[in-house]
Amino acid sequence: MPAPPTPPTNRFVAAVFQQLADLTEITGGNRFKVIAFQKVVRVIDDLPQQVAAMDRSLLAKIQGIGAGTAQRIGELLDTGRVADLDALLAQVPPGLIAVLDVPGLGPKTVALLWQQAGVTSLEDLSAKLDTGELESLKGFGKKKIENLKKSLAFAASAGDRVRIGRAHRVATTLIAALRDVPGVEKLEFAGSLRRGKETIGDVDLLAAADPSAAAGIFDAFVAQEAVSEVLLRGDTKCSVRISAGSAPLQVDLRVVAADSFGAALMYFTGSKEHNVKLRERAQAQGMSLNEYALTRDGERVAGTTEEEVFEALGLTWVPPELREDRGEVALAETRSLPALLTLGDVKAELHSHTTASDGSWSIEENALGAAARGFHTVAITDHSKGQAQANGLSIERMLEHIEAVHAVAKKLKGTINVLAGSEVDILADGTMDYPDEILAQLDLVVASPHAALTQEPKKATARLIKAIENPYVSIVGHPTGRIVNRREGLSPDMPALFRAAADCGVALEINANPYRLDLRDSHARMFVHEYGGKLAINTDAHGPDDLDHLRFGVGVARRAGATAHDVVNCLDAEGLASWIASTRR
């Protein structure tokens, strides 16, 4: 077990419980323990605050954490270890842990490889695959062996899950190339990409077509320039690897009949936990639900569209972003699901950069780009002086810049409202990078942390709250400063942060750049639903293409269950101006 960070982060705690679940299953432990440990992983991943900062007495009161798992979490936080995990680690060869990371190998298969074939490491697995020793194992035919060889090579070269931006780019490019292939009636992406998760393991594509057309569709699929390897090709499924320009990414394309497309789209969108809820509901009503159809006594009830399947189950259609088994099925039963905001609801960009700091477009180009997207307002928020690497503006330059922005605003009056703002650094002690007399001259202040992002939680909390309480701050930009898959960022006491922001009327940003997505969905959900806070969804645009990132920020807000009412960018021009004025205290 690796040494924990100090204090242990939620990511570390979740990883420990995932290992507890995997090793319990490998060693033949109680399956209810496996389920309990897996549930803790999901709960900890979703917690908006750091578990290390929580009152220990409250742990067992969190839904999904029982007394036993709460005790283990406390043990981990106090000692950096869990005795149960140490005992499990002592039962298995040290090298077996790495075998679990090979794509396509779950705990049950790893247990089989270890107990019946003596596989104790990646090296063992590779050698036994080459000698053919594994062919005698149940379920290990030649195709399975070949796929495992490829997966082993893939594991050696692949990194973590890819960010949603890359996965979306790959999926939409392939869909555009395949949509007009003869026989394709519908073509959509599914999986965690459709649910809007911030990272994606592999891309799932689903086509509706007559089965006789599948071969031609797969021919077109594997012929795409980005495809570096064909992993599998069958009658209804084809898997390829996309390697160009970045870490390898697997893409699976499935072809189903049109009358099964809705059921298949539901199934392959997931999540697994959401699907289990739907199957249980179907069974309780005397029906059966799988990836082909909803049936009763072998007779088809629904399957062509998702909507008709949900309706046949007595539910309203559940948006994909909510399908995580967080109460959405109960809300769908009572017709109480929120009317989630949409991309078209967003009418303003309140965090953008120009060539005055580190952007690639001028003030006017920025404003016209926003206007072309249908926005009524854009805020030009170039960096403050502390961001020297981003060409941050000195006080003298900022005063000149304000005049330049106002000149463009006057020129474009009637086309778009242009605000002279700044993304002002929140310094390590919570003070702002410009004095108040400069902040007072700005139309909008977005206060963001960029440095000292490893501060311990108490200091980070005090720092951010001090910024929130500044009378000129309207928005706190990317509040934790994290970079997805690269940097953890700050770990403040999120409830304290949310309370302060709600009390001051300050919006917290969902930065839509796929490298940031900060606030994350669990944070945004708590801020909106428990504290009544307002979100700002901004692209942090440094050039024209960055405005396309808005979809990812909206996806985070939808996963949080947010409506247009919860997002200041959805206000009309007059309402937005009034809101900004209300934040300047």
Residues 367 and 480 in one domain: yes
Q: State residue 232 phi and psi, 5-degree precision.
A: -160, 140
Q: Which tens digits make up the pLDDT trace of 373-420?
A: 999 999 999 999 999 888 999 999 999 999 999 999 999 999 999 999
State the total domains in the chain.
Answer: 4
Half-sphere exposure of 470 (CA within 13 A, CB side): 33
pLDDT at 5: 60
Q: Which tens digits make up the pLDDT trace of 29-78?
A: 988 888 889 888 888 877 777 888 888 888 888 888 999 999 999 999 98
- Count of beta carbons in the 10 Å neighbourhood of residue 81: 14
Average per-residue pLDDT for the chain? 93
pLDDT at 51: 86
Asked, for residue 516, whether it belongs to a domain, the answer is yes
Q: Which tens digits make up the pLDDT trace of 437-495?
A: 999 999 999 999 999 998 999 999 999 999 999 999 999 999 999 998 878 899 999 99
pLDDT at 143: 78
Task: Give every CB contact of residue 237 below 8 A, 6+ residues apart in sequence.
Answer: 252, 253, 254, 255
Residues 234 and 269 in one domain: no
Residues 471 and 531 in one domain: yes
Q: Which amino acid is at 338?
A: P
Residues 370 and 320 in one domain: no
Residues 109 and 230 in one domain: no
User: Which of 226, 256, 286 lies at the terminal end of a domain, its last residue?
Assistant: 256
Q: State residue 90 phi and psi, 5-degree precision.
A: -70, -20
Report field, pTM of the whole predicted structure over 0.75? yes
User: Which of 223, 256, 289 lies at the terminal end of a domain, its last residue?
Assistant: 256
Closest CA relative to residue 11, chosen from 149, 164, 199, 171: 199
Residues 316 and 349 in one domain: no
Mean pLDDT of 126-147: 84
Closest CA relative to residue 320, chosen from 192, 493, 503, 165: 192
178: domain CATH number? 3.30.460.10
The C-alpha torsion from 151 through 154 and 155 to 159, rounded to 10°, is -140
Distances (CA, A) of 366 to 384, 396, 415, 561, 571: 18, 22, 13, 30, 20
Asked, for residue 5, whether it belongs to a domain, the answer is no
Whether pLDDT at 270 is above 60: yes
Return the HEC string of 399-425.
HHHHHHHHHHHHHCCCCCEEEEEEEEE
Residues 245 and 320 in one domain: no
Mean pLDDT of 145-160: 68
Residues 75 and 195 in one domain: no
Residues 275 and 241 in one domain: no
Whether the CB-CB separation of 413 and 442 falls below 8 Å is answered with: no
User: Which of 275, 303, 333 lies at the terminal end of a domain, its last residue?
Assistant: 333
Lowest mean pLDDT among 5-9, 69-73, 282-286: 5-9
Q: What is the percentage of the chain residues whose pLDDT exceeds 90?
A: 74
Asked, for residue 48, whether it belongs to a domain, the answer is yes
* Residue-number span of the structural domain to which 227 is assigned: 162-256
Whether pLDDT at 4 is above 70: no
Whether pLDDT at 372 is above 80: yes
**157 pLDDT band (50/70/90 cuts)?**
low
Closest CA relative to residue 475, chosen from 548, 421, 416: 421
Distances (CA, A) of 312 to 271, 278, 280, 297, 486: 20, 11, 14, 15, 44
DSSP letter for 198, please. S
Among 55-59, 87-91, 126-130, 538-542, the range with the most confident prediction by mean pLDDT is: 538-542
Asked, for residue 83, whether it belongs to a domain, the answer is yes
Asked, for residue 137, whether it belongs to a domain, the answer is yes
301: domain CATH number? 3.30.210.10
Task: Give every CB contact of residue 97 below 8 A, 6+ residues apart in sequence.
Answer: 19
Asked, for residue 456, whether it belongs to a domain, the answer is yes
Distance in angstroms (rounded) separating the CA atoms of residues 65 and 11: 16
Distance in angstroms (rounded) separating the CA atoms of residues 510 and 482: 12
What is the arrangement of strands in the sheet containing 237-242, beginning at the earlier edge strand? 186-189, 203-208, 249-256, 237-242, 227-233
Mean pLDDT of 295-305: 97
Residues 87 and 199 in one domain: no
Asked, for residue 4, whether it belongs to a domain, the answer is no
Mean pLDDT of 103-122: 87
Asked, for residue 2, whether it belongs to a domain, the answer is no
Residues 229 and 280 in one domain: no
453: domain CATH number? 3.20.20.140
Residues 147 and 188 in one domain: no
